[in-house]
């Protein structure tokens, strides 16, 4: 039994020694699929109907490394991610009904860890991702009683496919998240969120050094 364990250990060490490590850079675009249903907010003398008007394209860029062995690989990355969204907000108050468009942009540092396997030039992959909040720029702060309470970290998952051609790395990934979209919205001390969790389609081009 001990000899078998020793053989397996030596084989594992040899495989790690034969593994391939690569480093590179990545950049790409993403398209968000956000909440369909809005939020209804009642705050004292005003009532708000808050809807997503438009989710703009996001962009991301950063670095990655990949460890490959026996046709399998694991790929962690560090990516700066910026996204924007427009809200259609209707205010019902004593002085009448007012409609406004408010824009919000927020930046995260994403840490995806993807694992998968290769068949020829094709890759099939999936994994987890952490989003570390950096900052936001928002017109919504003009709303009476509004506060931003972004979580320090949020988490999700990614799955998709990729192609390796020469030193180029092309990825098409779908991302889902575990938290509801808009859970940073606080009005009058009450927390709100849209009913749906955000998802996005990501197209990324990488270059291996």
Domains, the chain, in order of start with CATH, read 21-208 (2.40.160.20)
Nearest to 161 by CA among 133, 192, 120, 209: 120
Question: For 171-175, what is the mean pLDDT?
Answer: 96
Which string of DSSP letters, residue by residue, matches 21-79?
EEEEEEEEEEEEE--SS-EEEEETTEEEEEEEEEEPPEEEEEEEEEEEETTEEEEEEEE
Q: How many residues does the chain have?
A: 209
Question: For 116-141, what is the mean pLDDT?
Answer: 90
- How would you classify the pairing of strands 122-138 and 72-93? unpaired
pTM, whole model, 2 decimals? 0.79
Question: How confident is residue 15, by pLDDT bands cut at 50, 70 and 90?
Answer: very low
| Whole-number pLDDT of residue 13 | 43
% of the chain beyond a pLDDT of 70: 87
More confident residue, 47 or 163: 163
Question: For 189-197, what is the mean pLDDT?
Answer: 74
| Kind plus residue range of the DSSP H or E element containing 119 | strand 96-119
| Whole-number pLDDT of residue 89 | 81
More confident residue, 185 or 45: 185
Distance CA 56, CA 31 (A): 7
| Whole-number pLDDT of residue 45 | 66
More confident residue, 99 or 11: 99
Nearest to 182 by CA among 102, 126, 111, 112: 102
Torsion angle defined by CA atoms of residues 191, 194, 195 and 198, in that order, rounded to the nearest 10 degrees: -120
């Amino acid at each position: 039994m001990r000899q078998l364990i020793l053989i397996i250990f030596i084989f594992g060490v040899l495989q790690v020694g034969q593994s391939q490590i690569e480093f590179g850079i990545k950049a790409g675009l993403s398209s968000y699929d956000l909440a369909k249903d809005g939020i209804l907010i009642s705050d004292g003398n005003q009532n708000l109907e808050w809807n997503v008007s438009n989710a703009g394209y996001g962009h991301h860029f950063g670095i990655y490394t990949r460890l490959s062995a026996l046709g399998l690989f694991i790929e962690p990355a560090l990516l700066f991610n910026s996204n924007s969204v427009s809200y259609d907000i209707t205010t019902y108050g004593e002085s009448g009904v007012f409609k406004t468009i408010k824009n919000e942009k927020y930046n995260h540092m994403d840490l995806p860890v993807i694992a998968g396997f290769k068949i020829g030039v094709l890759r099939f992959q999936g994994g987890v991702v952490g989003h570390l909040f950096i900052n936001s720029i928002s017109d919504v702060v003009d709303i009476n009683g509004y506060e931003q309470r972004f979580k320090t970290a949020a988490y999700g998952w990614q799955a998709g496919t990729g192609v390796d051609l020469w030193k180029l790395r092309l990825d098409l990934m779908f991302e889902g998240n575990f938290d509801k979209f808009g859970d940073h919205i606080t009005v009058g001390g009450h927390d709100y969120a849209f009913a749906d969790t955000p998802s996005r389609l990501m197209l990324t081009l990488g270059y291996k050094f």
